[in-house]
Amino acid sequence: MRRATPFLAAALLACAPKHLPPSGPKPALEAAAVQPGDRSRVPEPGPAPALKVPPQRHFQLTNGLKVRLVEVHKLPVVALHLVVDAGASYDPADEPGLASFTAAMLTEGTKKRSATRISDDLGFIGASLSAGAGFDSASLSGSVLSGHLEELLEIFADVLMSPVFPQGDFARVQDQRLVSLIQQRDQPGATAAKTFQKLYWGDHPYGHWPMGTERSVKATRRGDLVRYHAARWKPRSSELVVVGDVAEQGLRNALEKALGAWKGGSTPTSKAAVAKPPRLQTVLVEKRGPAPQAYVMMGMPGFQRSSPDYVASEVAFQVLGGGTASRLFRKLREKEGYTYGIYARSEARKLGGTSFIVGSVKADVTGAATEAVLREVAGLRERPVPPEELAVARNALLLSLPADFAVTAGIAGKLAEEVVYGLPDDYWDQFAVQVASVSPVDVQRVSQKYLDTAKLTTVMVCDPAAVKPQLEGVPLGPIQVRPAAPAGAPSKTSAKVRAR
């Protein structure tokens, strides 16, 4: 065991000092002996610490469920993250939101626990547990102090294997989801993303909002969830990530005991889908009420997570809009004051990807800000990035990896990414090596490919009357104006929902 003896712990507790006298605990070090530093030169950092990706151990339960474990014994905490091939890309075209709704219902009642009982049992051991679905995967994840891992595992297994989707709780969650969607009408970010998703992806599996629409949530029946869960939540199309203060043998036994009874084969995986041909287009969605800013979302064809261009593109996006040293931040915020925040990022998924530039800009400079964005993109496409600037972007990506691997949740996130996208165990070591070799030519090449503003779809949530005139002459394609969602009390979910 890596645990200290009670004696040691007590000694450490006792030696945590209160305020020490100004001379400090080490008399050998005299304050007067330290000369003020020479401020004319910024101190150079020492050699960067080596990236130590913690080793993963793989094993399989008798039911076929794969497990990958990283032992971290720095705090008495454990994180569990089950990745399931049941993401929103499987949503039926006429029932968007099904994957997400199904996942959300897992913690709303099982054969032996009511929704409140699940919540209470988790609360008593100070644990968290939640399920959800993005486009490429669904997940059930939880965390707990390691002394209570077995108790969490028992609840984890219960909600995973025996959810009953109680009719009454189904109706309650259905109404909550519907009302959430209604509330999103007034949220600029959600409004823009929903509009973009449909406009850009069309009938592609990514062409909807993972939570669905007001109409589809209303139309969903309990039986749909039961069937979806039975079809897609299976041990052989799932993998469990465990990170934290736990030893392998004990974990194997505990998992076999908790999850051994989870049965079922695998599920067919998604097929490649054809993306809609991109075209230059702009939609201005009217924001209800005053709009002192425009919420701007610009997207272009990107790349899949598995693309060989992934690494070079990450560097390109870092240069363009990845952080406080990026071009968009420096130009649009720190020079012009157009915005509080604007960034560029790639959304690289299983079946395709998008290159995004997103930010909120002051309403009366929306035209100028959009032109500035286009200029920065053009700059990246037309001219090689100066070596010093490129080095900063590369370093930001690769030297920050140790911090990601310093906390349980960070490790679990990196591992889950490997699971979802089928990346090898040494992926992050390789990633670091590849980032270090990205050249100005590489950045320019991927920028030309994945930041193609001739294929730009732009959505702005704004006051179109104020913004549209500013966009005259800005090459954003035809501009369509859409009125705000109709205001007023929406219709309620039918109280009488038929079970199917």
Instruction: Report the site for other proteins in 253-312 (rule: CB under 8 A).
Output: 286-293, 295
Tokens 């486009």 belong to: 135
Task: Pick the stretch among 10-18, 196-204, 207-215, 260-268 that binds other proteins (CB under 8 A).
Answer: 10-18
Among 13, 111, 424, 472, binds other proteins (CB under 8 A): 13
CA–CA gap between residue 490 and residue 486 (Å, rounded): 9
- 487 contributes a contact to other proteins by CB under 8 A: yes
CA–CA gap between residue 264 and residue 61 (Å, rounded): 13
Tell me, residue by residue from 176 to 215, as one string, x for binding to other proteins by CB under 8 A and - for no binding: x--xx-xx-xxxx---------------------------
Q: Which is nearer to other proteins, 34 or 271 (CB)?
A: 34
CA–CA gap between residue 314 and residue 309 (Å, rounded): 9
Around Cβ 231, how many Cβ atoms within 10 Å?
A: 14
Instruction: Check: CB of residue 87 under 8 Å from CB of residue 99.
Output: yes
* Amino acid identity for residue 483 in this structure: P
Could you say which residues in the range 337-356 bind other proteins, by CB under 8 A?
Answer: 337-341
Could you say which residues in the range 432-471 bind other proteins, by CB under 8 A?
Answer: 463-466, 470
CA–CA gap between residue 195 and residue 208 (Å, rounded): 9
- 475 contributes a contact to other proteins by CB under 8 A: no
CA–CA gap between residue 104 and residue 193 (Å, rounded): 21
Among 76, 134, 260, 278, binds other proteins (CB under 8 A): 76
Tokens 């509330």 belong to: 183
| Shortest Å, Cβ 378 to other proteins | 22
Among 66, 198, 362, 445, binds other proteins (CB under 8 A): 362
Tell me, residue by residue from 19 to 58, as one string, x for binding to other proteins by CB under 8 A and - for no binding: xxxxxxxx--x-x--xxxx-xx-xxxxxxxx---------
Name every residue whose Cβ is closer than 8 Å to that of residue 196 and which is 6 or more positions away in sequence: 297, 299, 457, 459
CA–CA gap between residue 442 and residue 387 (Å, rounded): 12
CA–CA gap between residue 26 and residue 24 (Å, rounded): 6
Q: At what angle do helices 222-232 and 167-184 cross, to 10 degrees?
A: 100
Percent helix, strand, coil in the chain (nearest 5)? 45, 20, 40
CA–CA gap between residue 84 and residue 102 (Å, rounded): 12
Task: Pick the stretch among 8-16, 94-102, 204-212, 346-354 that binds other proteins (CB under 8 A).
Answer: 8-16
* Amino acid identity for residue 361 in this structure: V
| Shortest Å, Cβ 22 to other proteins | 5
Q: Which is nearer to other proteins, 154 or 334 (CB)?
A: 334
| Shortest Å, Cβ 8 to other proteins | 6
| Shortest Å, Cβ 411 to other proteins | 11
The residue count for binding other proteins (CB under 8 A) is 130
Among 172, 221, 236, 445, binds other proteins (CB under 8 A): 172
- 242 contributes a contact to other proteins by CB under 8 A: no
Q: Which is nearer to other proteins, 67 or 461 (CB)?
A: 461
Among 103, 144, 157, 225, binds other proteins (CB under 8 A): 144
Tell me, residue by residue from 378 to 417, as one string, x for binding to other proteins by CB under 8 A and - for no binding: -------------xxx-xxxxxxxxx-xxxxx--------
Closest of 360, 232, 371 to residue 292, by C-alpha:
360
Q: Which is nearer to other proteins, 158 or 286 (CB)?
A: 286
CA–CA gap between residue 158 and residue 262 (Å, rounded): 10
- 360 contributes a contact to other proteins by CB under 8 A: yes
* Beta-sheet strands, E only, within 339-475: 339-348, 353-362, 457-462
Could you say which residues in the range 120-139 bind other proteins, by CB under 8 A?
Answer: 120, 122-127
Tokens of 327: 């071009």
Among 27, 308, 478, 486, binds other proteins (CB under 8 A): 486
Task: Pick the stretch among 113-121, 156-164, 303-311, 436-444 that binds other proteins (CB under 8 A).
Answer: 113-121
Tokens 């999850």 belong to: 259
CA–CA gap between residue 235 and residue 258 (Å, rounded): 13
| Shortest Å, Cβ 388 to other proteins | 9
The DSSP 8-state label assigned to residue 453 in this structure reads G
Q: Which is nearer to other proteins, 277 or 289 (CB)?
A: 289
Q: Which is nearer to other proteins, 487 or 499 (CB)?
A: 487
CA–CA gap between residue 385 and residue 319 (Å, rounded): 8
